[in-house]
């Protein structure tokens, strides 16, 4: 029992000693300001003018420039380290507000779904549904925003997609859109 009490007393003393060391270390370090100082603006004196005297122009106020808040990434031709490497090349990064063509030419490969195929005059025609919830009738050779439709079969469609990833050795890949997806493919 005495041994347990001694171990407990040593543990309490050790914890108190560590708390003292930590608080001393924190108090010896200079504290950084919580927020950057606000811009100082010199007060503008109020000018009054007599009815016959025009008011003298006030001197310009001295303003100190503000430091930028936060951090912005400047890639300078390098890969963005915050973009996932697992999905590279599947989506083309676009600036917000960038203009896309209307219709099928404005849709990417990842934004269309094959809903049906029709046999016509010895070839097949595909029925696509876009992310805009519109239906498009396509033939081999029609263009999408990031690729071209190569082949349409009774059960699938093959799109030659342009890969825009600068780290990829291949510049084009084939994407197969299936008409009826199996449970394993979902």
0.75 exceeded by pTM: no
Task: Provide Rg for the chain, Cα atoms.
Answer: 34
Selected from 2.30.30.830, 2.30.110.10, 3.40.50.970, 3.10.25.10, the CATH number assigned to the domain covering 104-178 reads: 2.30.30.830
Residue 118 has pLDDT above 90, yes or no: yes
Cβ-contact 179, 116 below 8 angstroms: yes
CA gap 174, 158 in Å, rounded: 6
Among the residue ranges 46-60, 87-101, 134-148, the one predicted with the least confidence is: 46-60
Quote the pLDDT of residue 60: 60
Phi, psi angle pair for 93, to nearest 5°: -70, 130
Count of C-beta atoms within a 10 Å radius of residue 172 = 11
CA gap 115, 135 in Å, rounded: 9
* Mean pLDDT estimate for the chain: 76
At residue 176 the predicted structure's pLDDT band, cuts being 50, 70 and 90, is very high
Cβ-contact 157, 126 below 8 angstroms: yes
Residue 93 has pLDDT above 70, yes or no: no
- Average the pLDDT over 51-72 and give the result: 61
Quote the pLDDT of residue 1: 65
For residue 93, count CB atoms less than 10 angstroms from its CB and return exposed for 0-12, middle for 13-18, buried for 19 or more. exposed
Residue 35 has pLDDT above 60, yes or no: no
CA proximity to 45, closest of 31, 57, 30: 57
Report the share of the chain in percent with pLDDT over 70.
61
Among the residue ranges 23-32, 88-97, 169-178, the one predicted with the least confidence is: 88-97
The conformation of residue 63, written as its DSSP 8-state character, comes to: B
Residue 138 has pLDDT above 80, yes or no: yes
């Amino acid at each position: 029992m005495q041994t347990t009490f001694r171990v407990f007393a040593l543990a309490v003393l050790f914890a108190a000693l560590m708390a003292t060391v930590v608080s001393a270390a924190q108090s010896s370090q200079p504290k950084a300001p919580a927020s950057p100082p606000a811009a100082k603006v010199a007060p503008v004196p109020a000018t009054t003018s007599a009815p016959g005297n025009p008011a003298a122009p006030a001197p310009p106020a001295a303003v100190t420039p503000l430091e930028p808040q936060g951090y912005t990434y400047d890639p300078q031709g390098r890969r963005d380290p915050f973009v996932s490497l697992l999905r590279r090349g599947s989506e083309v990064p676009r600036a917000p507000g960038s203009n896309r063509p209307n219709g099928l030419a404005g849709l990417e490969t990842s934004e269309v779904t094959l809903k049906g195929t029709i046999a016509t005059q010895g070839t097949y025609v595909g029925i696509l549904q876009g992310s805009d919830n519109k239906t498009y009738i396509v033939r081999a050779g029609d263009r999408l925003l990031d690729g071209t439709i190569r082949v349409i079969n009774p059960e699938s469609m093959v799109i030659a997609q342009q890969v825009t990833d600068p780290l990829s050795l291949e510049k084009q890949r084939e994407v197969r859109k299936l008409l009826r997806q199996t449970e394993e493919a979902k």
